[in-house]
Structure 1
Amino acid sequence: MKTRVIQDVPQHRDTRTRTRTGLAGWIARHRLTSFFVLAYVLAWWSWPLYRMDVWPRQAFNAVGALLAALIVIAVADGRPGFRDLGRRMIRWRVPWYFYAFALLLPVMLRFGVSALNPAPDPEWAGLAWGSFALTFLVRLVNPLDGPMAEEPAWRGFAVPRLQGDLSPLASAAVLGMLVALWHLPLLGDIGPAGLIATFVITFVYVWLFNRTGGSVLLVLLFHNAQGFLTMTDLGYRGADLSRQEWYECAAWAVVALVLIVADRDAWSRPR
């Protein structure tokens, strides 16, 4: 496969951008910095207020990533930026095997790892597959849930701009670290294995995004397939759940390593 590094985003580095002043001008000149700062602030804002007894509860607002991308696009790029993101959101004309990869690999990996670490009391007969299908569809369009809240932001906005200056491999490493740290407030729920898995699976996301011509739709499907069937749905609890999390983390690390080694062209900048 030929490499296609995705970086075709409107940057507007013209005289108007260079001469803009104030906060809007700073954001236009520092799109990525502005985006990541906003993504953290909008997702974490209730935590310090809760600690100071100013806010009644603490919450992790995943939609902060999506809002950050939309704010920066509105200030720095305007309509061309929204058109670019919109085209990526509906970019569906990709080879069929990428759909198979996005939809089947997460489920196959989960069940495959489950064979190595069987749940002590799985209730297969009680799994309502119709409910899972409905959950899949709702998560696909719900901006308050992980897939829609994150993919237009991390992949649709950040990856093309990171790859304007860095190779896809370096971009994936930088993004993986920032996204893993962004999930830090969820440490009590996802554990250390979840944070590490978030880092390593970012390489898989970036590979899929680039190989599909910058399709946010495909990485959105991939993210959705990852989480609509949870480990607790399969009966994992306590120590078994923790072990399963580490096993899946290791499995995704293997997938990422295989993609890096087997498809080296995908990770270098075009000559």
Structure 2
Amino acid sequence: MILVTGATGTVGRLVAERLSGTGPLRLLTRDPRRAPLAGPGTEAVGGDFDDLGSLREALTGVRSALLVTTNPLAPGQDENFLTAARTAGVRHVVKLSAQAVADPGAVDLITRWQRDNEELLRASGLPWTFLRPRAFMSNTLSWARSVRDEGVVRALHGTSRNSTVDPRDIADVAVRVLADPGAHVGRGYALTGPAALSAVHQTEILGELLERPLKLVELSQDQALSGLLARYPEPLARALVESAVRGRDGAKAHVDPTVGEVLGRPARTYRDWAVDHLSVFRA
């Protein structure tokens, strides 16, 4: 049996959809009623990363697990999961991490948390694989309202280039790794798109597809921080701004071939992603 955590999130949901019908599948969510799938071979179970007992129960009978944690302010959650996984005899943990962990210059809170999580998994004795994506192309969904209402994209460091990746490609790689652990154990996969684009370039692509002029408005660092503070606790908001400064200095522009090597096809482009999500940006 395969267990997918984060099954209501961006990557976990896509992985669950792809694994549905391929074999026994268990989805771990805090509220099973919100699970994206149900039916023969698929079960949704309730559990919480802060509740070790619920994790032990959810992991019983599981062969491979996709581990997706999202709260750097709760550093004990990965350790809880790995403790429960060892107890349950899980044979492979696929950890969704971040490409920044491989950059010694990345020392923001979020990257340190992911780096520590990787070390926990290495030290656990469990067979592991790390998925290390760059920023998701779907992050630009945060522009949808201003694009629809004003024809405007607001971004910090709009000319910074980032080799963003389509979450569908991350999910496709995760499924390959979960289905055939032996070929991927002990590997850390850098997952990027096929080109490093700036917010300026992405805005141009959206404008072409929408057939309307779009304008990019450059945010100051204070403006960006203010917007982030409206959505995140202060330590996370400041970490995101710190990460953006690294992007401005070119730290996120490297393109890696791993997606194509694992999947046997090219990584999806930002244009590919935008075409499939264009209705969200239409006025």
TM range (shorter): under 0.3
Q: Which has the higher helix share?
A: 1
Q: Which structure would you say has the larger RCO, counting Cα contacts within 8 Å and 6 or more residues apart?
A: 1
TM-score (norm 2): 0.24
Higher strand share: 2
